[in-house]
Amino acid sequence: MPMYKPNSYRNVKLDVGVGGQVLDLETAVKDGVLDGVGGGVLVSAGVAEKLDLKKMIEELESIEVPSVFICPISLDPMEDPVTLCTGQTYERSNILKWFSLGHCTCPTTMQELWDDTVTPNRTMQHLIYSWFSQKFLAMKKRSEDVQGRAIELLENLKKVKGQARVQTLKELRQVVAAHSTARKAVLDNGGTALVSSLLGPFTTHAVGSEAVGILVNLDIDFASKSNLRQPAKISLMVDMLNEGSIETKINVTRLIEMLMEGSDFENENLSSLSLLVGLLRLVKDKRHPNGLLAGLGLLKSICSHESVRGSVVSIGTVPPLVELLPSLNSECLELALYILEVLSSIPEGRLALKGCASTIPNVVKLLMRVSEACMQLALSILWAVCMLAPEECTALAVEAGLAAKLLLVIQSGCNPELKQRSVELLKLCSLNYTSTIVISECKLTRTIQ
């Protein structure tokens, strides 16, 4: 039986995927394919010896790892690499499990093994440890640098004014948006209160825009939220919602929604026509569809306050939302249907839905094409509209194909509540629209009793 000789890094192969060329590890290290592992020499032996490989692999989960360090079985980085007689290297636990299942072949080449001995590949293990140590320490250094920079910017913010303040805020916003460690540094060093203090009746939009951009990336505590709910600060946010850039509008929308969470937000702030009009403009703006989700999210939160619903209807919210329904993705669609369903609970909302020619056909089209949650909302909207003017609206609904859709819902595996609402709506259609026509529209041959 041929004797197996442990591989050194000189004969472990690496497919680098460039024109199908296979390189050995020595060439890969020399050419920088492994980002200068340097033959496995640790940057700082004193520090590196204390680092745990498993922890480093978890911390660097999102980083691209050289393919030579990946176990062909699990496709995860190896911690304890062992080599078979075929020259292929695997994670010890994975290859032993392969053997325990009764296999006597090499998983990669499928060659039958003449020797089932697994030999620790110390060179590979050293390379893996060295590479992850370098990346981990570099990441830690960057993290510390980012934290230090965030704290430095906070200190600068206490001193600078005018355009220098805008520039400092802008840099802080960029750092906070990109790094979780910077966000933590800002929170731990009183950054939320400092940035919030810059918002007020005399704040320029340039300063306000950058400040809001920072705040939406932070986990704001209760006290800071209470401070930000001051009328002067909300008034500034509403102004920026109406006059700012699209990025500012989205950030303001997200911040106001954050301030509404778990709080009895003042109704006078919610019913402000400037806020509602600015929000509706954001939702309707076809040039910037990225503002739609944020706008619908805040509009949903506002509509949860019953006293504000009349104001939401009065600014003409219903028709544009109805027209948007066919083009919305699933997330935005559920938000839009929720808003329309809530507005259908008040007389003004039902009248606005009935008065929009597209309401019934657009909502009917959604049935059996969306989630059960969306269908529940859609049926509730249709019920509210049809009950307002049964003869007129049920005729329009049946002509739009409602009866057939309802029968499909009843026969499907939907939840009982959804089926019950469908039965009630179908009965309403049959009472106000002759059975013969309902049958014709459904393309059925039996009578609906």
> pLDDT value at position 13?
38
What is d(CA 305, CA 264) in angstroms, rounded to the nearest whole number?
Answer: 9
pTM (predicted TM-score):
0.68
Closest alpha carbon to 370 in 360, 379, 357? 379
Output b/e per residue, 302-316; b: 16+ Cβ within 10 A: bbebeebbebbbeee
Q: How far is CA 66 from CA 9, 120, 170, 204, in A?
A: 14, 20, 36, 50
Other beta carbons within 10 Å of 124: 23
- Spans of all domains in the chain: 60-120
Of 76-85, 128-137, 286-295, 338-347, the range with the lowest mean pLDDT is 128-137
pLDDT tier at 267, thresholds 50, 70, 90: low
Q: How far apart are CA 361 and CA 376, in angstroms?
A: 16
Residue 83 is classified by DSSP as E
pLDDT at 432 > cutoff 80: no
Across the chain, what does the average pLDDT equal?
A: 83
pLDDT at 18 over 50: no
Which among 146, 199, 201, 155 is positioned nearest to 175, based on CA atoms? 146
Enumerate the β-bridge partners of residue 77: 70
Q: Which residue has the higher pLDDT, 8 or 389?
A: 389
State the Cα–Cα distance between residues 409 and 424, nearest whole angstrom. 12
Lowest mean pLDDT: which of 99-113, 207-221, 347-361, 427-441? Answer: 427-441
pLDDT digits (tens, 9 = 90+) for 69-124: 999 999 999 999 999 998 999 999 999 999 999 889 999 889 998 888 899 999 99
- Distant-in-sequence, close-in-space partners of 169: CB < 8 Å, separation ≥ 6: 157, 195, 198, 207, 210, 211, 214
Phi-psi category of 357—alpha, beta or left, where left has phi over 0 and alpha has psi -120 to 50? alpha
The yes-or-no verdict on residue 333 having pLDDT over 80 is yes
**165-179, 203-217, 353-367, 406-420: least confidently modelled range:** 406-420
d(CA 89, CA 124): 9
pLDDT at residue 38, as a whole number? 43
Instruction: For residue 207, give Cα distances in angstroms to 161, 196, 198, 199, 340.
Output: 10, 11, 8, 8, 36
Confidence class of residue 132 from pLDDT cuts 50, 70 and 90? Answer: confident
Residue predicted with more confidence, 372 or 442 = 372
Q: What is 60-120's CATH number? A: 3.30.40.10
Q: Express each pLDDT in 271-327 by its tens digit.
A: 688 999 999 999 999 888 889 999 999 999 999 888 899 999 999 999 999 999 999
Gap between the Cα atoms of 221 and 284, Å rounded: 32
The pLDDT of residue 8 is above 60: no
**22-24 and 89-91 beta bridge pairing:** unpaired
Distance CA(447)–CA(449), nearest Å, equals: 6
Q: pLDDT digits over 244-262, tens only? A: 999 999 999 999 999 988 6
What are the residues facing 22 on neighbouring strands? 15
CA-based nearest residue to 210, from 167, 161, 149: 167
